[in-house]
Amino acid sequence: MRVLVAAAGALIGILLLGRVEAPIGPFDAGLAFTPTGGGATVEVPPLGALEVDAYDGPLQLDVQLRRVDETRIQELVSDPARLDGLVDRVSADLQDAVVRLAWTTGAAGVGGAVLASLVTYRRWREPLVAAGVSVVLIAGTAGLGAATWRPEALSQPTYTGLLVNATSLIGSAEDIVARFSAYRESLEELVANVGTLYSALSALPAPGGPTDTVALLHVSDLHLNPAGFDLVAQVADQFDVDAVLDTGDITDWGSEPENQLIGSIGALGVPYVYVRGNHDSAVTAGLVAAQPNATVLDDSATTVAGLTVVGARDPRFTPDQDATGDTESLEQTGEDLAELAEEQPDPPAIAMVHDPKQAPPLDGVVPLVLAGHTHDREVETLEDGTLLMVQGSTGGAGLRGLQGEYPEPLTCTVLYVDPGTGALVAYDDITLGGLGETEATIVRTVVPEEVTDGAEDGAGGGDGDGTPASPTD
């Protein structure tokens, strides 16, 4: 009976007091031991959790990542050396937190057993017996965990919630760490080449004269890559653009934790026009719209640097097909946008969509359609003369860019538009190489007054009947 009382008191003490709050890398986390049968669980609300069958015993280690500390994440993004040591930092933080949790849990268990024994028996010797019993139980639990410790289980977690897509998204842990490590090793040379690239801008003649065009930066499919957001800021500043046009997929899952980087839009200092991609939720669009310089186009129009721009979102929401409901088809959204364009008092110079399949109904209605989605840069003249420009991925496809043999390059394009006619005069395709490719290139393409029919590959720049481009490495 004394053992049962001590065990019950220890369990109550652990449930009430056996928890700690601690920083783990860029995260603030809560750690606790719960009586659910060994192993460890890491919760990443609202994305899901991963479970690891790392040891046996009556207590399970629960780790819940509560929030991302903006100051610590900005330090990581701005300092590659900090990012290189992130794994060691997280490991050290986690070890310190678990040790502190173990002492806290032990004290809570012993205190609970002593208090339960004192309340039950009301004799001064009983708390001492309960303390001894609880120490034995807690030590036995720790010993069982140590004896059954399985470190190999750490590489074979079980995912729940949206995290079930983690393995298909980024591959095995060993593989992604190796690829990302190699990617980071090439960053120093890449940054140096970017500096060379920007210094070479002065050698490029301004299309149509220094004040005769409006400069617009087309980005797409950032997929939550901090390097992509940094590229947008650098190009917007170096090229002195009048606005940024984003054709969607800022995030991967449209969830609240992913939206931390969206606040950087407000720091760009130029108008930011955006349409939702199939990976962006209504919450994401609302956060973009809340930025002081941003406009979200959803079957609507806006004026940028004197040019009328219309746009429509992708009707799908890929992370949750059930939430999409009965949506319009891609072609229908293009038809609706074409009708909107024709109703504008000033003919639109640009239409923005996410998926190129939304573009055909706009052929002959607007001179230029911008899209993304495919992660493959392409320029094509449609049958009735409209130019369709599909951007690659400004975020290098996010984490998925590390899945293939090489990460996808980061791409964006600066468009030079005649403010009087709304015609595209020229464009600069900017590409930052991925893993093993530290080059940074800019390709200038001058658009002829009469664009001939046929396709033109924007990545190559200067193919077809246009003026040959001048690449700068």
Is 155 found in the same domain as 182? no
Q: Would you tell me how many other CB atoms lie within 10 Å of the CB of residue 16?
A: 11
- Structural domain boundaries enclosing 138: 2-170
pLDDT band of 25, cuts 50, 70, 90: confident
Domain-located, residue 461: no
Percent above pLDDT 90 for the chain:
29
pLDDT in the model for residue 200: 55
Choose from 88-97, 201-210, 300-309 the range with maximum mean pLDDT: 300-309
Domain end marker among 136, 170, 204: 170
Q: How confident is the model over 420-449, as a mean pLDDT?
A: 78
Is 144 found in the same domain as 32? yes
Is 237 found in the same domain as 158? no
Closest CA to 279 of 181, 197, 400: 400
Is 395 found in the same domain as 325? yes
Rounded distance between C-alpha atoms, residue 49 and residue 36, angstroms: 16
Q: C-alpha dihedral over 198, 249, 370, 341, to 10 degrees?
A: -140
Is 189 found in the same domain as 88? no
Is 181 found in the same domain as 166? no
pLDDT band of 166, cuts 50, 70, 90: very low
Angle made by CA atoms 456, 274, 324, in degrees to the nearest 5: 100
Q: How confident is the model over 171-180, as a mean pLDDT?
A: 46
The answer to whether residue 402 scores a pLDDT higher than 70 is no
Rounded distance between C-alpha atoms, residue 54 and residue 157, angstroms: 9
pLDDT band of 468, cuts 50, 70, 90: very low
Q: Would you tell me how many other CB atoms lie within 10 Å of the CB of residue 331?
A: 13
Domain-located, residue 36: yes
Is 234 found in the same domain as 162? no
Is 238 found in the same domain as 122? no
Is 183 found in the same domain as 159? no
Domain-located, residue 135: yes
Could you read off the pLDDT of 254-265 as tens digits, one per residue?
Answer: 555 556 678 889
| Contacting residues for 270 by C-beta, under 8 A, at least 6 apart | 236, 241, 242, 243, 244, 293
Domain end marker among 130, 151, 170: 170
Q: How confident is the model over 88-114, as a mean pLDDT?
A: 84
Q: How confident is the model over 141-166, as a mean pLDDT?
A: 67
Domain-located, residue 411: yes
Domain-located, residue 470: no
Q: How confident is the model over 347-366, as a mean pLDDT?
A: 96
Q: Is 320 exposed, middle or buried (0-12, 13-18, 19+ CB in 10 A)?
A: exposed
Contact 130, 8 (CB under 8 A): no
Could you read off the pLDDT of 325-355 as tens digits, one per residue?
Answer: 445 689 999 999 999 999 999 999 999 999 9
Domain-located, residue 463: no
Contact 373, 277 (CB under 8 A): yes
432/248: higher pLDDT = 248
Is 123 found in the same domain as 216? no
Is 147 found in the same domain as 266? no
Q: How confident is the model over 391-408, as a mean pLDDT?
A: 68
Which of 115-129, 262-276, 279-293 has the least mean pLDDT?
115-129
Q: How confident is the model over 70-91, as a mean pLDDT?
A: 61
Domain end marker among 148, 170, 192: 170
The answer to whether residue 277 scores a pLDDT higher than 60 is yes
What's the domain count of the chain? Answer: 2
Contact 335, 184 (CB under 8 A): no
Domain-located, residue 468: no
Query: What CATH code is carried by the domain that includes residue 261?
Result: 3.60.21.10
Could you read off the pLDDT of 210-237 as tens digits, one per residue?
Answer: 457 899 999 999 988 777 888 888 888 8
The answer to whether residue 290 scores a pLDDT higher than 50 is yes
Domain-located, residue 191: yes
Is 143 found in the same domain as 12? yes
pLDDT in the model for residue 165: 43
